[in-house]
Structure 1
Amino acid sequence: MDFGRLPDVRGISFTLPPDHPDTTTLLVRSGPAPAPAGIWVGCPTWINKAWLGSWYPLGLREDQQLNYYGRQFNSLEVNVTHYRIPDAEMVRRWRAAVPAHFRFCPKVPQSISHDRELYNADDLTNSFCRALENLGEQLGMAFLQMGPNFAPPQLTRLERYLLDWPAHLPLAVELRHPAWYHDPVLLAETGALLEALGKTWVISDVAGRRDVLHQRLTTPVAFIRFNGHALHRSDYLRADAWAERLAAWLNEGLREVYFFVHQRDVNDAPTWAQYFLQRLSKLTSRELPAPQLVVQPVQGKLF
């Protein structure tokens, strides 16, 4: 994820802002969360040659990597759907490769979000939603990432699109244009709209755009995209802060967490996730499986 990435993070304040005032209200109104709440953590890709010999066994073929990814993580931000709508056979292979508890979070195709900006996109949306339905219970949440030019004057178009979105398919919405966040009245209006429509507002934690760290939950589900910086010391401080914030939200009634880890070097993502999940496990008193380095067989050693 290059959005908000900076070449140098010195001087950046990574302190998490306080919750938006409406977040606590939303969690109280949602009622008690089922026990235990779902905690889903993953990366944006599963075919990672750089993981061979560390997070994947040496020699693991590409067609076997999703299966092993499903042993290391319990969720996946599916970026491939941003570029094409998967057919039923592709979805079937995905589902067969991972455990039943695994959750896929496919990104809405860019032909809908960026090219058409939600205009005249009914046919494409219907095709994409049919693909989502093929995921069955392994569908976590789709997410609609709007382009950088999609601005507040298009709020009515967004509302119309979300009203038409099938209610049985969970959807998160990511808005990137700075104008969504610089006017407190507009931010409150946008949050109220997403809450009324039952859509989750994506929270992004990136160095160069601290405004998108709005901390406004619009459903009792948190969908967070984290952009790290080569395991810089700040990455670990941010892991601590997020573990504390999520533990607090879970205590207040949050029902699900989707947390996706982005690092420029893909080798850094499992390392960070391992640390983050260990911290969250301690704070929630829950056993949360974390990625583990693979013990590689040593050939030719008899004793």
Structure 2
Amino acid sequence: MIPSNLSNASPRCYIGLTQWQHAAWQDNFLERSSHIHVLNAYARHFSSVEGNSTFYGLPKQSTVEQWYKESSDKFRFCFKFPQEISHQRQLTHCKNETQQFFERLAPLQEKLGLLCIQLPAAFGPDSLNDLENYLKSLPADWQYAVEIRHPEFFQKGNAEQQLNQLLVSQNCNRISFDTRSLFAHPAEDAVSLKAKEHKPQLPVHAISTGHSPMIRFITPLDWQWGAPYLDPWVSKAITWMQEGKTPYFFFHTPDNAEAPQLAAYFVQKLDASLPGCCLFTPWQEQNRQQDTLF
């Protein structure tokens, strides 16, 4: 079933970053008067965000209510399940924690895109039954995505086939994390090395197992060096939207300082084929920077 808040006759691709504030962004698209909330400023341009904070702990109820107030109707939050569920308990014996997660986010339900389960690299084929049982236990009126990091799920063998079949049967989206350009770049600065230490170096399988495929994309610090790796994703996004799917793309760099420019570059490429599909509003400074790329 496609949730009613995502169904739309027009092609749609949600675009976002891993956070909605960063010190490096204050002088361009986040520039605002003191009475404007930073999320409000972010949502003027981007249509989604990776909510990584819920991985570490649940927000206060008042905070969730403020997020609803400061975001537009078109905006979609994509929050991670808490690490206590995905990593510490690995999807077992976590009924209470799961219920608390849904209860806390309930005021935002109409603005939620994907709720994301990021599993540790140790979560392998032997744990697929736990994943199946957990997905079947979740409320059916929310959308879900799973990020797998065990190498055996990337070898196109029985384990990967079983995983994909499970996700298709549950209409659950498989997250693709494209780190190829990050690891291909020879940079040895501290920021880049830290990113390489913490990000997975795994093959990219551009597969859609649900209605809303989710792509996480990271480049080197010099994001333009990694831009050619985006071209196949432009084509894939167009194909998915032509199939009636609603993809989500989230953009990273090692320090995220220029992640907005990376996202805007992708939008410009995609808009050339499907104008307006990204629900993205450029900012003036970015327009001037983009002119130098072509």
Please give the range of the TM-score, normalised by the shorter of the 2 chains.
0.7 to 0.9
1:60 offset after TM fit, Å?
5.1
Note if contact 1:53-1:294 (Cα within 8 Å) is conserved in structure 2: no
Partner of 1:276: 266
Note if contact 1:203-1:212 (Cα within 8 Å) is conserved in structure 2: no
CA RMSD of aligned residues (A): 2.1
Task: Tell me whether 1:171 sits opposite 2:162 in the alignment.
Answer: no
Indicate how the Cα distance of structure 1 residues 58 and 97 shifts in structure 2: closer, same or farther if over 3 A, else same. closer
Q: 1:83 aligns with which of 56, 59, 80?
A: 56
| Partner secondary structure for residue 120 of structure 1 | coil
Note if contact 2:52-2:80 (Cα within 8 Å) is conserved in structure 1: yes
| Partner secondary structure for residue 221 of structure 1 | coil
Partner of 1:187: 160
Indicate how the Cα distance of structure 1 residues 290 and 264 shifts in structure 2: closer, same or farther if over 3 A, else same. farther
Note if contact 1:108-1:128 (Cα within 8 Å) is conserved in structure 2: yes
Q: Deviations over 1:180-224 (max 9, x none)?
A: 112422211110111101111111111255644112211121111
Q: TM-score, normalised by structure 1?
A: 0.80
What is the aligned-residue identity percentage? 30
Indicate how the Cα distance of structure 1 residues 167 and 117 shifts in structure 2: closer, same or farther if over 3 A, else same. same
Q: 2:26 aligns with which of 35, 52, 55?
A: 52
Note if contact 1:243-1:283 (Cα within 8 Å) is conserved in structure 2: no
Q: 2:73 aligns with which of 100, 110, 120?
A: 100
Distance 1:50 1:220 in 2: 34
Distance 1:60 1:89 in 2: 20
| Partner secondary structure for residue 250 of structure 2 | strand
In the TM superposition, 1:107-122 aligns within 5 A as: 107-122=80-95
Task: Tell me whether 1:257 sits opposite 2:230 in the alignment.
Answer: no
Indicate how the Cα distance of structure 1 residues 129 and 179 shifts in structure 2: closer, same or farther if over 3 A, else same. same
Q: Greater relative contact order (Cα 8 A, min sep 6): structure 1 or 2?
A: 1
Note if contact 1:244-1:283 (Cα within 8 Å) is conserved in structure 2: no
Partner of 2:107: 134
| Partner secondary structure for residue 47 of structure 1 | coil
1:232 offset after TM fit, Å?
4.2
Structure 1, gaps ≥5 residues long: 1-32, 296-303
Distance 1:113 1:56 in 2: 33
1:80 offset after TM fit, Å?
0.7
In the TM superposition, 1:264-303 aligns within 5 A as: 264-286=254-276, 288=278, 289-293=280-284
Task: Tell me whether 1:152 sits opposite 2:125 in the alignment.
Answer: yes
Note if contact 2:240-2:246 (Cα within 8 Å) is conserved in structure 1: no
AA matched with 2:84? S
Note if contact 1:270-1:291 (Cα within 8 Å) is conserved in structure 2: no
1:50 offset after TM fit, Å?
1.5
1:100 offset after TM fit, Å?
1.1
1:231 offset after TM fit, Å?
3.3
1:67 offset after TM fit, Å?
1.0
AA matched with 1:39? C
Partner of 1:223: 214
Partner of 2:13: 39
Indicate how the Cα distance of structure 1 residues 80 and 291 shifts in structure 2: closer, same or farther if over 3 A, else same. farther
Give the greater-gyration-radius structure (CA): 1
Partner of 1:214: 205
Q: Deviations over 1:67-99 (max 9, x none)?
A: 101112110100111111123221110010111
AA matched with 2:22? N
AA matched with 1:248? T
1:131 offset after TM fit, Å?
2.2
Distance 1:229 1:201 in 2: 24
Q: Deviations over 1:44-76 (max 9, x none)?
A: 111211111122217758x72111011121101
Note if contact 1:181-1:211 (Cα within 8 Å) is conserved in structure 2: yes
Structure 2, gaps ≥5 residues long: 1-6, 184-199, 287-294
